[in-house]
């Protein structure tokens, strides 16, 4: 599972790790606190003492997943300096997550589908996560000198998100690779090659 532990201590980390795996593999609604407690080897009382509620646990799961994504993306972008290299790094990071997550789809999109209450604290984390991706893409588009950077940003974002859905359905990374090629064509002439 692509989550990193927080600064809570070993028991809370164990609970969070168990919850993250179960939420991602089986869904948030389908996973009860009894299953999480059992998987983590703790009581429900201990789980509630650390996270307050299932919603609190879901929120921490999403925060941990976002931290892990940001760390993964940073590794893929660290030595890439040109806009084309950074764009490639985005697609490669998405591909790595898609494969490691065994084609279960985007954990944030999956959670958004289940967290239908508009004021659920997890929804804010989902929005921040997706906006962080858009911000990174916008920076790439601006650095590349795209005249319509906002439009290119949204097209790249849609290519990434749509390709992940298609990869999930096919259990194959080819859609992400095809989307990457399409994204490269949106770079100004001279940026690709």
Question: Tell me: the pLDDT tens digits for 137-190?
Answer: 999 999 999 999 999 999 999 999 999 999 999 999 999 999 999 999 999 986
Note the pLDDT of residue 101.
Answer: 80
pTM here?
0.88
The Cα–Cα gap between 51 and 57 comes to 5
The Cα–Cα gap between 23 and 84 comes to 35
| Token pair 């201590």 in the structure block, residue | 9
Domains of the chain, by residue range, sit at 79-184
3-state secondary structure the chain: CCCCCCCCCHHHHHHHHHHHHHHHHHCCCCCCHHHHHHHHCCCHHHHHHHHCCHHHHHHHHHHHHHHHHHHHHHHHHCCCCCHHHHHHHHHHHHHHHHHHCCCCCCHHHHHHHHCCCCCCHHHHHHHHHHHHHHHHHHHHHHHHCCCCHHHHHHHHHHHHHHHHHHHHHHCCCHHHHHHHHHHHCCCCCCCCC
Nearest partner of 163 among 114, 62, 90, 100, judged by Cα: 90
The Cα–Cα gap between 85 and 96 comes to 16
The Cα–Cα gap between 152 and 50 comes to 43
Q: Can you read off the two tokens belonging to residue 34?
A: 């009894």
Reported as a single tens digit per residue, the pLDDT across 102-144 is: 888 899 999 999 999 999 999 999 999 999 999 999 999 999 9
Find the mean pLDDT for residues 71-93.
96
């Amino acid at each position: 599972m692509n989550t990193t532990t927080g600064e809570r201590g070993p028991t809370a980390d164990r609970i969070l790790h168990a919850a993250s795996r179960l939420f991602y593999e089986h869904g948030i609604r389908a996973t009860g606190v009894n299953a999480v407690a059992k998987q983590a080897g703790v009581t429900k009382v201990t789980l509630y003492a650390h996270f307050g509620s299932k919603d609190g646990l879901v929120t921490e799961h999403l925060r941990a997943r976002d931290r892990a994504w940001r760390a993964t993306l940073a590794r893929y972008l660290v030595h890439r300096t040109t806009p084309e290299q950074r764009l490639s790094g985005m697609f490669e990071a998405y591909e790595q997550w898609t494969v490691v997550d065994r084609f279960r789809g985007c954990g944030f999109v999956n959670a958004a589908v289940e967290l239908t209450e508009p004021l659920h604290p997890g929804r804010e984390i989902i929005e921040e996560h997706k906006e962080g991706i858009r911000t990174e893409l916008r920076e790439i588009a601006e650095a590349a000198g795209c005249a319509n950077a906002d439009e290119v940003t949204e097209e790249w974002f849609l290519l990434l998100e749509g390709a992940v859905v298609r990869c999930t359905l096919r259990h194959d990374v080819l859609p992400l690779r095809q989307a990457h090629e399409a994204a490269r064509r949106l770079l100004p002439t001279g940026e690709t090659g």
